[in-house]
Structure 1
Amino acid sequence: MTNTIKTRVLVVGGGPGGYVAAIRCGQLGLDTVLVDADRLGGTCLIRGCIPSKALIHASALFEEITHVADGGRFGIHLADKPRLDLAETVAWKEGVVDRLSGGVAVLLRRAKVKVVPGWARFTDAKSCIVTKPEGETRIVAEHVILATGSVPVELPFLKFGGKVISSTEALSLPDLPDRLVVVGAGYIGMELGSAFARLGAAVTIVEAQGQILPLYDVKLIEPVRAWLDEKGVALHLAAKAIGQSAAGLEIETSAGKRVDIPADRILVTVGRKPVVAGWGLEEMSLAMDGGYVRVDEHCRTSTTNVWAIGDLVGEPMLAHKASAQGEMVAEIIAGARRRFAPAAIPAVCFTEPEIVAVGIGPDDVETGDVVIGQFPFAANGRALSMAAGDMGGFVRVIARADTHRVIGVQAVGLHISELSTAFCQAIEMGAVLEDIAGIIHAHPTLGEAFHEASLKALGHAIHI
């Protein structure tokens, strides 16, 4: 027997785009149903951002304790080296995920959002069937918000299974691989590769382009590259993965030589693709932009009252972009005038050290059009007090030469991700260099480097 639900808004997908959209709809008094076949929270919470950062944190702590045991650090000594039980680490990580996923469920209930677990398949633009073990539910809505997210890209010659894993499996391994090969040196591969190197795995990274983290400028990635060299992480740049071999992975180097790399696990992180199959896209008459659903600046699709947000609509595939779009769409449906036109969307890479990039970078501007100020953490008291002053980190500010308006901020350093909000806020609020320079920054903090970089761009930095 098929049960029918009629609602004002139907949200498909319970990730950071979908659940935020649903909660905001509920807050605005819109009758809302959310359908999701997985645990609430989506890829970001269940198998992406949150679990990966938990693993990264645990790996950093393990590495620090190992340093103490190997010869002491800051006058602290340990008689024995630490022992890693990866299964316990994964269990702790899952506890964090469960707590946050449960929190999302509470927030949805508080907003009076009805959650229907199961897989939705549309029969037309405003109707879907949700299949569950106990039967089917038909949902008919006035508005539909599509937030189906993305999945890892699978290479045809490296199908997932056995030794070959995606980031999903990497975050739930029962034991530490002795030898890990990472295919793809984007932020996912670099974050996980760095974490496993800290935990003690012998890590090799294979990248088709000529540098790691190709979306960031060369100066930003230099400290990360130095850390990889220090930890003995092997890099094969401008190299192609060919396929599995008896020992591990066969690659073709930049010199055209075939090399067989031994591996216990092969982690493929060559990108993500939107989930466009399996939920009835073909029944909805949606215009496409390549593999993405086409939307306008309001996240409207080509079909009236059907909206799409997050990874489904293209780059950047970031949780905070999806959340912002979800909140906006909910308010538009409720009658507000909104459009998605951010001045900047922050990108953060949780490598060692961390990288932040907001707004315009140095490779995007012509000399003479801008002024640039850069301040090293080697001259920052807080960085030095955390033994992070010699990692090559810095904060760089880019401003228009004529108005001094800040149009870009990039930084690399320990815990620098925590300054991303300040960087983005400066750009969104139209700050000029004099604004940043005139703010009293607390001492000693890493944020002082933002202040000093702005002073440097104005020609009168104090501490360099």
Structure 2
Amino acid sequence: MKEIVCKLLVIGAGPGGYVCAIRAGQLGIDTVIVEASRPGGTCLTVGCIPSKALIHAAETLDATRQMANGKNTMGIRVEAPSIDLSGTIGWKDGIVDRLTGGVVGLLQKARVKIVSGRARFRDGKTVEVETETGQQIIRAETVVIATGSDPVELAALPFGGRVISSTEALSLRELPSKLIVVGGGYIGLELGTAFAKLGSEVTVVEATEQVLPIYDADLVKPVTRRLVERGIKVFTNAKAVGLSDKGDALVVEGSGGRQELPAEQILVAVGRRPRSVGSGLEDLDLDRSGPYLRIDDRCRTSMRGVYAIGDVTGEPMLAHRAMAQGEMVAEIVAGRKRAWDKRCIPSICFTDPEIVSAGLLPREARALGYEVKVGQFPFTANGRAMTMQGEDGFVRVVARADTNLVLGLQAVGSVVSELSAAFSMAIEMGARLEDIGGTIHAHPTRSEALQEAALKAMGHALHI
């Protein structure tokens, strides 16, 4: 098979990789992208998109059940609903298929050559790809490593049988009667809550003293309250030891001693690890930061002409971070002057209710030596939230006490994920409390709580 020679080779067609390739193609760079499975990566195929589809289906079913049971106060009555999980998964797969097809179309439009197969490095400029038609050799001036990440497997609970990762959880065709989620981070709680709404009996086992340990207690309280209301059992400061002798229960050790929790399925969601071993990467002798590839402010690795982006470079493992890195690297390869100068990367937890955070939490700001002002406005005082029966939660602003410069913005509540863009833009543009408080926010919207939080931090909120 004839060798391919190109200016830019991107390995991995996840959010970072395909955005890098598309932007490079737009800039006229001769680009090849290699992907072992479908374009879109974890986020599009077995992560962000399919999980949000399942979460939405679960929320719709749950809301309909509440109407059928007369538990809503809007006066709506419906017949008792049911769930065909196989049909739901089919609907989810349809969304994924359309989006992956869209990515392929965008790559083709940008004149990017797509090679399907698993790449293995021969050296820093050459890879061999096992394709359906044989081995393909690709030589490039510049290489971008965008290989992504995989779910972390516990030695005591290897994947297989009733022990599954988030990937398998999103493809289940039958609803498990009893589901145990090992790991109370955002992946575990998002999927655990969704399955509880679909009808599973869910138990969460978390090793730390609080679920969602990356957030402070104020943000997490509305979520834990809703978990209790849903009947989801939560064990904190508890360690998953392994399967019982019969293999039908999870053995857990905690403050109450050792106990067995019966389970039909056990979802292990304790994090993700970079896909930085294999494919000949270890032979390149790239500098590492723990398990991650070490990069500078231009995503350059320790080897000339080799870049790395996305999950393989470390936290935060977020698709939008990878996309921004991919776009930047493409422009650097095209000769433009770019460097990573982002002030914040928003994170969202699609639990019930949702959590969104941009910039610094209050504790983080104080740890950096700032004296801060904190303004918090509850959705119980927001008209739009009340009309949507989603008034549980608040918006919070963290600002420097001396200059009123906004350092962080957080919210917990129904559909607050949609506030993430406003939060990030405020911080990126160096907004002060006066900027947010003096901006007219449309009424009635949840976004008014952002303005009110800023006013509260300045000492004169209008509606509380």
Do residues 128 (structure 1) and 127 (structure 2) align?
yes
- Corresponding residue number in structure 1 for 2:215: 216
Report deviation, 1:277. Answer: 2.1
Answer whether contact 1:394 1:411 (CA < 8 A) is retained: yes
Q: Is 1:81 matched with 2:80?
A: yes
1:266 counterpart = 2:232: no
Determine whether 1:254 maps to 2:273. no
Secondary structure of the residue aligned to 2:342 is coil
Q: State the shift of 1:72 in Å.
A: 5.5
Q: Distance in 2 between matches of 1:331 and 1:283?
A: 28
Q: Is the CA contact (8 Å cut-off) linking 1:125 and 1:283 kept in structure 2? A: no
The alignment status of 1:10 with 2:9, answered yes or no, reads yes
Q: Which residue of 1 aligns with 2:441?
A: 441
Give the superposition deviation at 1:282.
Answer: 2.4
CA distance in 1, matches of 2:152, 2:71: 43
- Displacement after TM superposition at 1:156 (Å): 0.7
Deviations 1:157-200 (A, max 9, x none): 10101000000000000110000000000000010000001111
Give the TM-score taking structure 2 as reference length: 0.98
- Residue 404 (structure 1) aligns with: 404
Alignment correspondent of 1:196? 195
Q: What displacement does 1:368 show? A: 7.3
Count the aligned residue pairs. 459
CA-based RMSD of the aligned residues comes to: 0.9
Give the fraction of aligned pairs with identical amino acids, expressed as a percent: 57
TM-score by length of 1: 0.98
The 2-side partners of 1:17 and 1:202 are apart by 36
Bigger shift: residues 140-149 or 281-290: 281-290
Matched residues in 2 for 1:65 and 1:267: separation? 26
Letter of the structure 2 residue corresponding to residue 264 of structure 1: E
Counterpart code for 2:134: G
Q: In 2, Cα distance between the equivalents of 1:4 and 1:365? A: 53
Report the counterpart of residue 183 of structure 1 in structure 2.
182
| Structure 1: unaligned runs, 5 residues or longer | none
Runs of 4+ in 1 over 4 A off after TM superposition: none
Aligned positions of 1:231-242 closer than 5 A: 231-242=230-241
Letter in 1 for 2:238: A
Note if contact 1:204-1:234 (Cα within 8 Å) is conserved in structure 2.
yes
- Cα offset, 1:402, TM superposition: 1.1
- Which letter does structure 2 place at the counterpart of 1:176? L
Deviation larger for 358-367 or 290-299 = 358-367
**Which one-letter code corresponds to 1:254 in the other structure?**
S
Deviation at 1:278, TM superposition (A): 2.2
In structure 2, C-alpha distance between the alignment counterparts of 1:364 and 1:120, rounded to whole Å = 41
Which stretches in structure 2 are left out of the alignment for 5+ residues?
none
1:11 is paired with a residue whose SS is strand
Does the alignment pair 1:369 with 2:376?
A: no
- Cross-structure match for 1:90: 89
| 1:37-436 aligned within 5 A | 37-71=36-70, 73=72, 74-78=74-78, 80-245=79-244, 246=246, 247-255=248-256, 257-366=257-366, 369-389=371-391, 391=392, 393-436=393-436
Q: Matched residues in 2 for 1:338 and 1:233: separation? A: 47
Shift of residue 10, structure 1, vs aligned partner: 0.0
Specify the SS of the correspondent of 1:364. helix
Q: Which whole-Å CA distance do the structure 2 matches of 1:289 and 1:259 have between them? A: 38
Further displaced range: 199-208 or 245-254: 245-254
Q: Contact conserved, 2:365 with 2:407, CA < 8 A, in 1?
A: no
Contact map agreement 1:125 1:285 (CA 8 A) in 2? no
Q: What secondary structure is seen at the aligned counterpart in 1 of 2:15?
A: coil
Aligned to 1:450, the other structure's residue is in SS state helix
| Structure 1 residue 272: Cα displacement | 0.3
2:362–2:372 CA contact under 8 A, matched in 1: no
